[in-house]
Amino acid sequence: MSMLEIESLKRSFGGLVAVRNVTFNVNEGDFLGLIGPNGAGKTTLFNVISGVLRPSAGTVRFLGRDISGKPANQTVRQGLSRTFQAATIYPEASVIENAARGTLASSLTGLWGGFLSSKWRVAAEEKAFHVLDLFGLTRRAALKARELSYGEQRRLGVAIALASDPKLLMLDEPVAGLNPEEAAELASVLRRVKSERGVTMVMVEHHMRTVMGLCNRVVVLDHGTLIAEGTPAEVVSNPLVIEAYLGKEAVHA
């Protein structure tokens, strides 16, 4: 079943077309990799899908509902959550508070509940602890988020996104800036999250080893256009993809 359907999506900034008529689907249970050279429009596409930017044309459908141009906070409540490349935590709050804030939108009290009882906080922190446990951050719970190492902060960023109980989790370069051990660790956490929670995932990533190891399907963007789609093995042997990454001569050589 198609969870996310992207149809003829376009986004331009003034005269610059960053995303041009992109169409693809994300199926339930997918771990889709979104790759492409620098400036290919991956992050723009991400921002349009998650509601941070409005599309110039085209539609985004999530679980059969049109979400194009809807603000990010609404798409999250429907089950589409995302992470950012940088500054994805609350640095001055404790680690447990960081994860607990991720659960707020899905907690039942709403905006005006929880004034006189602290049940909501117990529930939120319980949920937050489950997420921290998945990411191996339980023992850091009482520290301030800014006191964590860079690798731990990146994991916490994904943990916050997962705390909102998404059906589809979109990760923007989750392993960027991590050393090989940290990258491998985060990859194994993501694999575990996927199998334990059944979350469908989409990932923008430059780190090819991570993409090849995690994704069952890969979509390749170049200059805002979708140039290839398929399994990781199919995509890396696609001449168009090799050309996009290495230039024309490499293909002929």
Partner 1 sequence: MNPPTIKPMYYVGVAVAVVLAALLPWFAPNQFYIHLATLGCMNLMLVLGLAIIARAGQLSMGHGGFALVGGYVSALLSMRGWSPLLSLFIAGLVAAAIAAALGWIILRLRGVYFVLVAFAFSQIAVLLALDMSFVTGGANGLVGVPPISIFGHVLLTKPQFYPFALVCALTTLLLTWLLYRSPLGTMMAATAENQRLTESSGIDTHRVQVIAFTIGSGIAGFAGALSTHYLRFISPDSYTFWESVSYLTMLVVGGRDGVLGPVVGVLVLTPLPELLRATEGLQHIIYGAMLVLCLMFVPNGLASLVQTWRSRQRVAGTGAAIVAEEVT
Binding interface with partner 1 (CB under 8 A): 50, 52, 71-74, 76-77, 81-84, 87-93, 96, 100-102, 104-107, 109-116, 118, 120-122, 125, 129, 139, 141-142, 160-161, 163-164
CB of 142 to partner 1, least distance (A): 5
Angle at 51 between CA 188 and CA 218, to 5 degrees: 40
Residue 12 or 106 with smaller CB distance to partner 1: 106
Amino acid at position 168, single letter: L
> Shortest distance, CB of residue 151 to partner 1, whole angstroms?
18
Helix axes 95-103, 119-134, angle to 10 degrees: 110
Instruction: Tell me how far CA of residue 31 lies from CA of 79, 132, 178, 201, 218, in angstroms.
Output: 16, 22, 20, 5, 8
If the CB atoms of residues 110 and 198 are measured against partner 1, the closer one turns out to be 110
CB nearer to partner 1: give 50 or 200.
50
In angstroms, give the least distance from the CB of 89 to partner 1: 7
Let me know: does 11 contact 48? Beta carbons within 8 Å: yes
DSSP assignments along 128-151, one per residue:
HHHHHHHTT-GGGTTSBGGGS-HH
In the complex, least distance from residue 174 CB atom to partner 1, rounded to whole angstroms: 14
Instruction: Indicate the residue among 83 and 210 with the shorter CB distance to partner 1.
Output: 83
